[in-house]
Amino acid sequence: MWSFYTDDNEPPVVDAGPDQAVWLGMDGIDGQVTVTLEGYTADDGRPGPYVVLWTQDQTEAPPVGIVNADQDVATVTLTERGVYAFTLTADDGEKQAFDTVQVVVGDTPCDASHMSSGQPYLPSDINQDCIVNLEDFALLFAQGWLSCTDMLTHCGL
Ligand SMILES: [Ca+2]
Ligand SMILES: [Ca+2]
């Protein structure tokens, strides 16, 4: 007589949501930003109810508290610039699944944009505020205004 043990318990499904780029003051409160971690989990109900948990991954960013860390949708309030990572784990008691989301926090939208894209600033954007305008022009020329590098005639000055 043959007997088979079939393990038909499927592991949970976890989605930590899309990566986010935010900046301090984005909510209108100076020096902080509150981010919603839009997680999603599901399971086949076997072997029973499952539990979820948000945790913060260790990065260069400081540790923060996670509100509603045992629910799909949690929030974090961040007060320092940095690249944060959070992992959502679902555990049905037998099998686990997890997914990680990255949250970039910049000092300004411009800063956050460059932090998340990794793109360099335009060389002519001297003050790195994401726009090339007369302020950059003034900074560029103010640095060496009327200074002469001709040591022979001293530019006729
Ligand atoms: Ca399951
Ligand atoms: Ca500029």
Looking at residue 1, its pLDDT comes to 65
Residue 4 clears pLDDT 80, i.e. is over it: no
Give the predicted TM-score (pTM) of the model. 0.84
Find the 13 Cα to ligand 1 centroid distance in Å: 9
pLDDT, the chain, mean: 94
CA distance to 11, 12, 42, 43, 69, per residue, from 50 (Å): 10, 8, 9, 7, 14
Find the 50 Cα to ligand 1 centroid distance in Å: 8
Note the ligand closest to the C-alpha atom of 110: 2
Tell me if the domain spanning 13-119 has CATH number 2.60.40.10: yes
Q: Six-digit token pair at 43? A: 């399971």
pLDDT digits (tens, 9 = 90+) for 67-100: 999 999 999 999 999 999 999 999 999 999 999 9
Find the 20 Cα to ligand 2 centroid distance in Å: 25
Phi, psi for 144 (deg, rounded to 5): -130, 25
Note the ligand closest to the C-alpha atom of 121: 2
Find the 122 Cα to ligand 2 centroid distance in Å: 9
What is the share, in percent, of the chain residues with pLDDT greater than 90?
A: 85
Structural domain spans, the chain: 13-119, 120-157
Three-state helix/strand/coil letters over 26-80: CCCCCCCEEEEEECEEECCCCCCCCEEEEEECCCCCCCCCEECCCCCEEEEEECC
Find the 99 Cα to ligand 1 centroid distance in Å: 16
Find the 142 Cα to ligand 2 centroid distance in Å: 14
